[in-house]
């Protein structure tokens, strides 16, 4: 459950780490105070007009007061516009920073098996941007008008100040009650909507199956009750908010009417001037309106607090591992040492004490039935997942505890499900780094993909994203060329021959042999050991219940567990 104090503390710590943001907020607050001082002159000028100009008939005084009124109004408007620009710039800057962090944490969350989609993190970032760039924070800053207005009202007459203070207190208490009674409902409804939306998106990705088998209707009907429950919970919170809105507006209007009645009574007893009644009414509105606006924007505050808390939890749970320096005399190649790993919801390890050394210029073939952790072993070798114990070391560097931009260029990786990003074939093979057409073509030739790419409509300029229309085989060949880009020291391939014809499979085998000849340590998972017979340097066989053996080709087991 979100607590306002903890959220405020988190935000204060974040601002302390970003002094530029603190400076912008401080400037915006100073502009708010100055603006309220300008606006404060309006009721006082009005009082002087009624008490002085009307009674004395001095039009010169009216001209001077009207000019002062106009100047104060313009200055207040200019300061409000400058404050709005500062808050918009702050929102844009913060959104850029949070978007990058949110995407990185969302990717690490997905690697860890979390169901929280990256889209939800981006939605939370957009919510915070909308909150900061809107007028909600400005309403909070405008609450500086409340103590100033009460002070001036007290100077006019204590009765005015007492009435306005009771109205402010009532509206503030209503805001606290609204927050306390709807906080849990808002979080529960928001979490439900995120969960149900993620589930529906996951099902709709299989559009061919849903439409082809006539399953779309049942899937939507199964999703609808959960979505309806989330909306109902949100509607219940909104109903309470509408009730508080009505009471808040009534309290504000009632305070102004009471000030008028009290002012008339005081004026008949010659305790205040008639002009002070109008000034007091305006000041009472200035004192209560900011509090009312903050209370009425409760939903914005609640959603922003939820977004902030979820992002902080995402960042804390899926922060990048702390980098560690490489060993002074680390062994060349890849060394998997005593790797033990249990799935997030598993009860026993899938991999237990697995150890294998892949020297440079060798091919290690990983074999085993489904469910024995072959793909997981590759992810652990790349440092994409945290093992229960053990480590994966590439040339003396723990692959888990190193900046990805440092180790990424030294790795070539082809997962089972090849994903290409929106962009040309050239950009995808070049990993969206600085464009180097010569290196891209060299990688494509090495992977045996150059001729295939040449037959595409625009060659290397052909779009290769998810909706570009490339076949699975074409995607796999482009992904393989991407793995070979930059002559990586470690080549990790997960069933690279899957879905390819005989010519493609032979091209894959030749490509891996070429990488070995260039000194790469190659770790390959395959369900077709016949393709690799006589072409590998060692076999790592995985078996159920964490059992494993390392064998030389056509030799008895060299090491087992």
Alpha carbon 336 to chain centroid, angstroms: 33
Tens digits of per-residue pLDDT, 219-271? 666 666 666 666 666 666 666 666 666 777 777 778 888 888 888 888 888 88
Sequence-distant (6+) residues with CB within 8 A of 29 are 141, 144
8 Å CB contact between 354 and 548: yes
> Please, what's the b/e burial string for 469-505 (b: 16 or more CB within 10 A of its CB; e: otherwise)?
ebeeebbbbbbbbbbbbbbbbbbbbbbbbbebeeebb
pLDDT band of 441, cuts 50, 70, 90: very high
Cα→Cα distances 122→107, 153, 155, 404, Å: 12, 46, 50, 21
Residues above pLDDT 70, as percent of the chain: 74
> Is residue 6 predicted with pLDDT exceeding 60?
no
Contacts of residue 199, Cβ cutoff 8 Å, sequence gap at least 6? 223, 226
Task: Provide the pLDDT for residue 523.
Answer: 93
Strands 389-394 and 334-341: antiparallel
The answer on pLDDT for 68 being more than 80 is: no
Cβ–Cβ under 8 Å, residues 510 and 448:
yes
Please determine, for residue 165, whether its predicted confidence score (pLDDT) is greater than 80: yes
- pLDDT of residue 559 exceeding 60: no
The answer to whether 7 touches 304, Cβ cutoff 8 Å, is no
Q: Mean of the pLDDT values across residues 456-467?
A: 86
For the stretch 189-201, pLDDT in tens is: 666 666 666 665 6
CA distances from 531 to 20, 367, 475, 536 (A): 59, 12, 21, 10
DSSP states along 377-398: HHHHHHTSS--SEEEEEETTEE
What is the distance between the alpha carbons of residues 20 and 8, in angstroms, rounded to a whole number? 18
What pLDDT, on a 0 to 100 scale, did the predictor assign at position 4?
A: 43
Tokens, residue 67: 């000019």
What whole-number distance in Å separates Cα of residue 41 and Cα of residue 39? 5
Residue 324 DSSP SS3: coil
Percentage of the chain beyond pLDDT 90 is: 11
Q: Quickly count: other Cβ atoms within 10 Å of residue 83's Cβ.
A: 23
Look at 235-249, 271-285, 536-550 and tell me which has the smallest mean pLDDT.
235-249
pLDDT at position 322, please? 67
Print burial letters for 88-118: b (CB count within 10 Å at least 16), e (below 16): eebbebbbeebeebbebbbebbeeeeeebbb
pLDDT at 481: 92
Nearest to 491 by CA among 514, 506, 512: 512
pLDDT at 190: 64
| pLDDT value of position 549 | 80
Q: Is residue 553 predicted with pLDDT exceeding 90?
A: no
Euclidean distance between CA atoms 208 and 14, whole angstroms: 46
CA distances from 556 to 395, 448, 553 (A): 28, 34, 8
In this model, does residue 558 exceed pLDDT 50?
no
At 492 the pLDDT is: 92
Nearest to 259 by CA among 279, 240, 244: 279
What separation, in Å, do the N-terminal and C-terminal C-alpha atoms of the chain show? 46
Strand partners, 363: 522
Phi and psi angles of residue 271, each rounded to the nearest 5 degrees, phi first: -95, -25
Of 441, 451, 438, 449, nearest to 480 by C-alpha is 449
Averaged confidence pLDDT in the chain: 77
Kindly indicate the confidence band of residue 561, based on its pLDDT and cuts at 50, 70 and 90. Answer: very low
State the Cα–Cα distance between residues 516 and 488, nearest whole angstrom: 11
- For residue 556, pLDDT beyond 50: no
pLDDT at 451 exceeding the cut of 60: yes
**343 has pLDDT over 80:** yes
Residue 2 has pLDDT above 70, yes or no: no
The pLDDT, as a whole number, for residue 25 is 73
Q: How far apart are the C-alpha atoms of 133 and 17, rounded to whole Å?
A: 21
Q: Name which of 228-232, 294-298, 515-519, 541-545 the model is least confident about.
A: 228-232
Using only C-alpha atoms, what is the Rg of the chain? 34
Is 519 in a helix, a strand, or coil?
A: coil
Q: Tell me the pLDDT tens digit for each residue of 97-131.
A: 777 777 777 666 666 655 555 567 777 777 777 77
| DSSP three-state, residue 69 | helix
Backbone angles phi, psi at 267, to 5 degrees: -70, -35
Neighbouring CB atoms inside 10 A of 270's CB total 7
Q: In this predicted structure, what is the pLDDT of residue 524?
A: 92
Tokens of 317: 């749970």
pLDDT of residue 452 exceeding 80, the answer is yes
- Residue 71 contacts by C-beta under 8 Å, 6 or more apart in sequence? none
Q: What pLDDT, on a 0 to 100 scale, did the predictor assign at position 522?
A: 92
The CA distance from 34 to 93, in Å, is 25
Is residue 139 within 8 A of residue 262, CB to CB? The reply is: no
Burial of 174 (0-12, 13-18, 19+ CB in 10 A): buried
Evaluate if residue 476 carries a pLDDT over 70.
yes
Structural domains for the chain: 19-317 (1.20.1560.10), 334-560 (3.40.50.300)
CB 334 within 8 A of CB 521: yes
pLDDT at 1: 33
CA distance linking residue 327 with residue 114, whole number of Å: 32
Output phi, psi for 335, to 5 deg.
-130, 110
């Amino acid at each position: 459950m979100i607590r306002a104090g903890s959220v405020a503390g988190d935000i204060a710590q974040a601002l302390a780490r970003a002094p530029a943001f603190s400076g912008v907020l401080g400037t915006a607050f100073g502009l708010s105070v100055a603006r309220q001082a300008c606006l404060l002159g309006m009721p006082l000028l009005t009082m002087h007009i009624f008490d002085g100009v009307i009674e004395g008939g001095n039009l010169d005084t009216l001209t001077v007061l009207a000019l002062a009124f106009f100047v104060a109004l313009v200055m207040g408007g200019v300061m409000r516009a400058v404050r709005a620009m500062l808050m918009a710039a702050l929102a844009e800057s913060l959104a850029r920073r949070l978007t990058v962090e949110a995407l990185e944490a969302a990717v690490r969350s997905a690697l860890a098996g979390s169901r929280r989609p990256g889209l939800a993190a981006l939605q939370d970032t957009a919510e915070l941007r909308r909150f900061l760039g809107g007028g909600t924070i400005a309403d909070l800053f405008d609450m500086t008008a409340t103590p100033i207005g009460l002070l001036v009202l007290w100077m006019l007459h204590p009765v005015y100040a007492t009435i306005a203070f009771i109205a402010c207190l009532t509206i503030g208490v209503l805001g606290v009650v609204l927050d306390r009674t709807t906080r849990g409902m808002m979080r529960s409804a928001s979490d439900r909507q995120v969960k149900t939306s993620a589930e529906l998106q996951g099902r709709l990705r299989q559009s061919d199956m849903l439409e082809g088998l006539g399953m779309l209707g049942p899937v939507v009907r199964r999703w609808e009750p959960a979505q309806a429950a989330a909306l109902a919970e949100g509607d219940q919170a909104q109903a309470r908010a509408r009730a508080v809105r009505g009471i808040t507006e009534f309290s504000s209007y009632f305070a102004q009417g009471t000030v008028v009645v009290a002012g008339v009574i005081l004026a008949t007893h010659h305790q205040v001037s008639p002009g002070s009644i109008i000034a007091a009414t305006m000041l009472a509105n200035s004192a209560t309106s900011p509090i009312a606006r903050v209370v009425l924007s409760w939903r914005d505050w609640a959603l922003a607090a939820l977004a902030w808390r979820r992002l902080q939890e995402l960042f804390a749970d899926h922060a990048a591992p702390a980098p560690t320096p490489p060993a002074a005399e680390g062994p060349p190649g890849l060394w998997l040492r005593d790797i033990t790993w249990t799935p997030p919801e598993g009860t026993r390890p899938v991999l237990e004490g697995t150890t294998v050394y892949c020297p440079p210029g060798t091919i290690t073939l990983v074999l085993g039935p489904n469910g024995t952790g072959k793909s997981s072993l590759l992810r652990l070798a790349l440092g994409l997942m945290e093992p229960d114990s053990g480590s994966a070391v590439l040339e003396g560097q723990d692959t888990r505890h190193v900046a990805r931009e440092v180790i990424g260029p030294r790795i070539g990786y082809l997962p089972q499900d090849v994903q290409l990003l929106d962009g040309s074939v050239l950009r995808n093979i070049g990993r969206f780094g600085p464009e180097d057409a010569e290196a891209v073509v060299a990688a494509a030739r090495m992977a045996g993909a150059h001729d295939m790419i040449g037959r595409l409509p625009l060659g290397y300029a052909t779009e290769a994203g998810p909706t570009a229309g490339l076949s699975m085989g074409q995607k796999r060949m482009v992904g393989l060329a991407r793995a070979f880009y930059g002559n990586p020291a470690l080549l990790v391939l997960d069933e690279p021959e899957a879905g390819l014809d005989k010519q493609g499979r032979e091209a894959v085998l030749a490509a891996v042999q070429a990488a070995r000849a260039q000194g790469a340590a190659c770790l390959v998972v395959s369900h077709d050991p016949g393709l690799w017979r006589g072409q590998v340097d060692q076999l790592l066989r995985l078996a159920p219940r964490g059992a494993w053996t390392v064998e030389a080709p056509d030799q008895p087991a060299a090491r087992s567990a």
